[in-house]
Chain A
Amino acid sequence: MLQHYGPQLINLLASLMLLLAFAMLAQRRIMSLINLFAAQGFTLFLSTALVAWLTDQSHLYGSALLTLVLKVIALPWILHRLIRRLNVKWDVETLINIPSTMLIGIVLVILAFNLALPIALLAGTLTKGTLGIALACVLLSFLMMITRSKAVPQVIGFLSMENGLFFAATAAAYGMPMVIEFGIALDVLVGMVILGIFFFRIRERFDSLDTRHLEKLKEH
């Protein structure tokens, strides 16, 4: 039964990912942004576990577990703690207004689907149809990083970009070798810690987490 509906379920989860990516792009509140990020991580976990079960790729279970621990539990928890400590629960300012951002996002999705088409034809995987969505998630997260001016949403954009990349790897080749996945997971965790320190330094220096203040560091 589940075997039969498996591919459809994966497609469903993939579209959920895309939906969440758009939701993050449109979200103004930081707390909801973190929750959305956790939800995206959870979707990723579900889809990875499903692919693992459908294709009997035992190492993908490890990846799924890693995703669950790191992206659904650890990172959102760290981010929540950071927000509490920094006391920055206010709304997120965007550089471009939300509707225009959404329009640009749609263009990017079309672009991503078009780009993924030739690659998907080459890939022999069960999940090849979702490659376009994975690429779109990457581009949308990137767009989010560009359009936000505060440091925390930019970091969330960075993390969600990693989600997209992970999804793309699962879609195109049933995931990466375990060593590389562990490496990336460690990178993300360490990067998060370092960025957390940077948050405090930036706020201490400029009394705000707005990265526009960093313009003052420019050499004239």
Chain B
Amino acid sequence: MLATPLHDVLAAVCAWLAIGALGLLRVGSIGWATRILYPAGAIVGLGLAAIALRAIFEPAASMVLPLGLPDLPLHARLDALSAFFLLLLGAVSAGVSVYAGGYFRQTQGTPPGLICLYFHVFLASMALVMVADDAYFFMLAWETMALSSFFLVTCDHDQAEIRRAGYLYLLIAHLGAITILLCFGALLAGAGDYTFEHMRSLQPSAAWATAAFLLALLGFGAKAGIVPLHVWLPEAHPAAPSPVSALLSAVMLKTAIYGLIRVTLDLIGSPLWWWGVIALTLGLVSALGGIVFAAVQTDMKRLLAYSSIENVGLIFAGFGLTLIFHGFGMGALAALALTATLYHCLNHAFYKSLLFLCTGSVLHATRERSLGRLGGLIHRMPWVAWCALIGTIAIAGLPPSNGFASEWLLLQAFLFTPGLPHGYLNMLVPVAAAAVALTAALSGYVMVKFFGVVFLGQHREARLVEAHEAGIWERAGLAWLAAACLFLGLVPATVIGLLEPITRTLTGYGIGNLAQGWLFIAPISAERASYSPLLVFVVTALLVVAAWLLVRAFYHGRVRRAAPWGCGFPNQDARMQDSAEGFGQPVRQVFEPFFRLEQHAPAPDDARPRYSESAEDHLWYWLYLPVARGVERLTALVTLLQRGRISVYLAYSFATLLALLLFVR
């Protein structure tokens, strides 16, 4: 049998499962899992990335697996879109696995061997989601992914708040799974054939297609953390161990994007333009809401979680724009928007996992997650700080990082909307472009806060002096991801070339040939806009070096060391620094209607004054609590049936039997 890339992918999946199972051999041994199994998993991840990279340029291959129920075998298929997301999964998981080899320690909660099992089952199930080619297999992999990640989130299940976060996560994951199931039901059109091949060949009526799209948007949106189904995200990400948060945010959210693109552009095939408006609106609301909430967070992992909501929002907005262009038959622009969307998926996967891992190292070194008790860590852990700086620049969207490249492409796509043959859209989409720009600016602001408060300034607590640098495994993982961020930013033309097979299959157009050589990218024409990150990088580097040399030449020997952020005050101490709350305060003022604020101001005679403030989500009170109360009231009715007496229960079945016999003959 000829080994196709698909076989290789399945072999990688099996390898991951085997590594996970090996973890059970010595459940309690931390060394066995971290020194041997996680590095092995990282090698498998690298292998998967290499296979996927090759598979992007190969024609789609499919096969029937000798697994599954009788008469319902599992189908697998590897095309450019799957291969791209597998590349993302493999490359990111390689870094995260290496890091996990240094990260996991003996804890009170789940034993390390079990964590290793869940971790690798999680990775394997995500890979299976991307190669599944029938609804049954897809749901199987999807639910395995949800369950394994639930157990990963609740690793430290001895803490009540972590159990609560896990419950919320599971609840919304199941809600999403049900709607995805219904979506496949709508796509099946009553036939008993579950394969995607069958769904592709059908031409559903507009009503059914719309129903399927809306269900998919809801189901995959729940997994991706789109407003208003985002509430699990800021709870679950901080609860999970850092490598798991990195995987959740970087890869698992992308499986939802993958599913949405697969269902909408591949299975339904002919999207209506106004679907795009819905996706665009939801995306923008999430992006803006996410980043505004991120600005007022005081817990570093929550801050990153809200920033994930923002990024997913941007991805959704780009996807919505793709649908709008596609719906109006403007294929080249649809390809541009889709390229920007997928590029942003890739970038977000790398820089968000990088930042989550950095918070993990900080957490290990200081046992502190609250921004108000950190500070000045760049002196203690320079390696982590510099990696975090690269991630911060990327997430803030500054050139020449990868974040800038994708956001710039996205904005370029927005700027072509005046060509749309629809009056209102013509006027409203530029407003959306403005919202995207505002989001990008705010994310820069948030990231300055994140980096500045954690790594710069003075230690806010005395014991931070004892903070230690991350271990060699952790540093290796961080370095891999940081290098990827830089690399992806510097060679956008290559990445666009990578995305071309995907846009060509899904929209019929590719923009790979529009990249002007390897140096410049110009999405539509060089006259309008072009960008060369390498040039920006070289010029920036030259300017920095020149400035450094100049300063050195003219001021040498007159360097004076002072307390950081001293601003000339003689008696500056750590508590006088700008705090996380203080830094976020302007945003909190401007966007006050977004929050439900609770402030605690200390009394004048308080001996140890502490100012605290919490900003909660209105949606929690407007949407979730009423729904929860309604469900509780309904279920209270059910207890009327519960009498606790066997005779009564028997009488219920007896009455049912008689009714069925009498009336439903």
Chain A interface (Cβ within 8 Å of chain B)?
Answer: 95, 111, 115, 118, 139, 142-143, 145-149, 154, 211-212, 214-219
B647 touches A218 (CB 8 A): no
Chain B interface (Cβ within 8 Å of chain A)?
Answer: 639, 642-647, 650-651, 653-654, 657-658, 661-662, 665
B654 touches A215 (CB 8 A): no
* Whole-angstrom CA separation of A216 from B650 in the bound complex: 17
A142 touches B645 (CB 8 A): no
The distance from the CB of B649 to the nearest CB of chain A, in whole angstroms, is 9
B644 touches A218 (CB 8 A): yes
The 10 A-B residue pairs whose C-beta atoms are closest, nearest first, are: A218-B644, A215-B644, A146-B650, A211-B646, A146-B647, A146-B651, A145-B650, A142-B654, A215-B645, A115-B661
* Whole-angstrom CA separation of A149 from B645 in the bound complex: 9
Closest to B652 in A: A146
B647 touches A95 (CB 8 A): yes
A149's partner among B643, B644, B647 (CB-CB below 8 A) is: B647
21 contacts between A and B (CB under 8 A): A95-B647, A111-B662, A115-B662, A115-B665, A142-B650, A142-B657, A145-B650, A146-B647, A146-B650, A146-B654, A148-B647, A149-B647, A154-B646, A211-B647, A214-B645, A215-B643, A215-B645, A216-B644, A218-B643, A218-B644, A219-B639
Given A95-B647, A145-B650, A146-B651, also A219-B658 (CB < 8 A)? no
The distance from the CB of A5 to the nearest CB of chain B, in whole angstroms, is 33
Which residues of the partner chain A approach B646 to less than 8 Å between Cβ atoms? 154, 211, 214
The distance from the CB of A70 to the nearest CB of chain B, in whole angstroms, is 24
* Whole-angstrom CA separation of A24 from B647 in the bound complex: 17
* Whole-angstrom CA separation of A84 from B580 in the bound complex: 76
B661 touches A212 (CB 8 A): no
The distance from the CB of B645 to the nearest CB of chain A, in whole angstroms, is 5
Which residues of the partner chain A approach B658 to less than 8 Å between Cβ atoms? 111, 139
* Whole-angstrom CA separation of A218 from B662 in the bound complex: 32
Which residues of the partner chain A approach B650 to less than 8 Å between Cβ atoms? 142, 145-146
The distance from the CB of B640 to the nearest CB of chain A, in whole angstroms, is 12
Which residues of the partner chain B approach A118 to less than 8 Å between Cβ atoms? 665
Which residues of the partner chain B approach A154 to less than 8 Å between Cβ atoms? 646
B645 touches A212 (CB 8 A): yes
B644 touches A217 (CB 8 A): yes
Which residues of the partner chain A approach B647 to less than 8 Å between Cβ atoms? 95, 145-149, 211
The distance from the CB of A14 to the nearest CB of chain B, in whole angstroms, is 20
Closest to B647 in A: A146
Closest to B661 in A: A115
Which residues of the partner chain A approach B654 to less than 8 Å between Cβ atoms? 142-143, 146
Which residues of the partner chain A approach B657 to less than 8 Å between Cβ atoms? 139, 142
* Whole-angstrom CA separation of A214 from B661 in the bound complex: 30
* Whole-angstrom CA separation of A160 from B511 in the bound complex: 76
The distance from the CB of A156 to the nearest CB of chain B, in whole angstroms, is 14
Closest to B645 in A: A215
Which residues of the partner chain B approach A148 to less than 8 Å between Cβ atoms? 647
Which residues of the partner chain B approach A139 to less than 8 Å between Cβ atoms? 657-658
The distance from the CB of B244 to the nearest CB of chain A, in whole angstroms, is 35
Which residues of the partner chain B approach A149 to less than 8 Å between Cβ atoms? 647
A211 touches B645 (CB 8 A): yes
The distance from the CB of A177 to the nearest CB of chain B, in whole angstroms, is 20
Closest to B648 in A: A146
* Whole-angstrom CA separation of A133 from B643 in the bound complex: 33
Closest to A143 in B: B654
* Whole-angstrom CA separation of A147 from B645 in the bound complex: 12
The distance from the CB of A116 to the nearest CB of chain B, in whole angstroms, is 10
* Whole-angstrom CA separation of A197 from B451 in the bound complex: 64
Closest to A220 in B: B639
Further contacts, 8 of them, CB under 8 A, given A139-B657, A146-B647, A146-B650: A115-B661, A142-B653, A143-B654, A145-B650, A149-B647, A218-B644, A219-B639, A219-B642
Closest to A138 in B: B657
* Whole-angstrom CA separation of A147 from B648 in the bound complex: 10
The distance from the CB of B102 to the nearest CB of chain A, in whole angstroms, is 47
Closest to B639 in A: A219
Which residues of the partner chain B approach A145 to less than 8 Å between Cβ atoms? 647, 650
* Whole-angstrom CA separation of A215 from B661 in the bound complex: 30
B661 touches A218 (CB 8 A): no
Which residues of the partner chain A approach B653 to less than 8 Å between Cβ atoms? 142
* Whole-angstrom CA separation of A118 from B665 in the bound complex: 10
* Whole-angstrom CA separation of A211 from B647 in the bound complex: 9
* Whole-angstrom CA separation of A149 from B665 in the bound complex: 32
The distance from the CB of B643 to the nearest CB of chain A, in whole angstroms, is 7
* Whole-angstrom CA separation of A95 from B645 in the bound complex: 12
Closest to B646 in A: A211
Q: Which of B650, B651, B653, B662 has the most CB of A within 10 A?
A: B650
